[in-house]
Amino acid sequence: MFTGIVQGQGHIESTVEGHGQRSFNIRLPAAMSKDVAIGASIAINGTCLTVTAQNSNLFSFDVIGQTLKLTNLGLLEQGQLVNAERSLKYGDEIGGHIISGHVSVAVEISRVDQQQDNTRVWFNLPQAHKKHVLPQGFIGLNGCSLTVADVTDTHFCVCLIPETLRATGFGTAQVGEQVNMEIDHQTQTIVATVERVLAQRAL
């Protein structure tokens, strides 16, 4: 489990193609690299990955084909930066909202409106998840816990303060870029429960 508060950005040092998977070697900030056991979970762009090897602050992760297709990890290349967060420990502050690291879908940035004090980023809204994305609701985007600012029939947006732009990859976000989206699981559960109850009443 994670909090959606990005702890640092990792640098992709190299990737290795395998049979139905890809291995990533990512250099994380030194502050994130202490007391990490092999098998530990680290969120990379909001995707929960397992540490398979460590050499100082260089970490290796194996990503299977299904995850590469579902997330933006399949589009990443050597030299790019990624958002990183270590898993939540008992007693840690939850500054965002609980994120599982199980990405729902990758969504495309459709517009970036830069303003003096904040930046508004718009995303295409998959119709299958329209019922889960609500104004003022939680959403995870590339591992960042964010609040939905506005929703239309086909798009939704979030507002990013300068600190978020500085600390995450959203500072260089471009139209057309794919971003990992994780729906808030409480919202998803409530919607599914209401739909099931209404369907049973209609019988």
Per the domain annotation, does 28 fall within a domain? yes
Give the list of residues 6+ apart from residue 114 with CB closer than 8 angstroms, or none.
Answer: none
**What's the first-to-final CA gap in the chain, in angstroms?**
38
**Amino acid found at 150:** D
Half-sphere exposure (Cβ direction) of 152: Cα atoms closer than 13 Å:
7
Q: What is the CATH number of the domain that holds 157?
A: 2.40.30.20
pTM score? 0.92
Beta bridge partners of residue 24, listed in sequence order: 15, 61
Quick one: pLDDT band at residue 203, thresholds 50, 70, 90?
A: low
Out of 35, 59, 86, a domain closes at: 86
pLDDT tens-digit map of 11-39: 999 999 988 899 999 999 999 999 999 99
Q: Which of 23, 58, 86 is the last residue of a domain?
A: 86
201 part of a folded domain = no
Q: Residues 64-94: pLDDT tens digits?
A: 999 999 999 999 999 999 999 999 887 777 7
Instruction: Examine residue 99 and state whether it is found in any structural domain, yes or no.
Output: no
Burial of 146: CB neighbours in 10 Å, binned 0-12, 13-18, 19+: buried
The CA–CA distances, whole Å, from 45 to 3, 11, 91 equal 13, 12, 24
Total number of domains in the chain: 2
* CB-based contact 27:60 (threshold 8 Å): no
Domain of residue 31 covers: 8-86
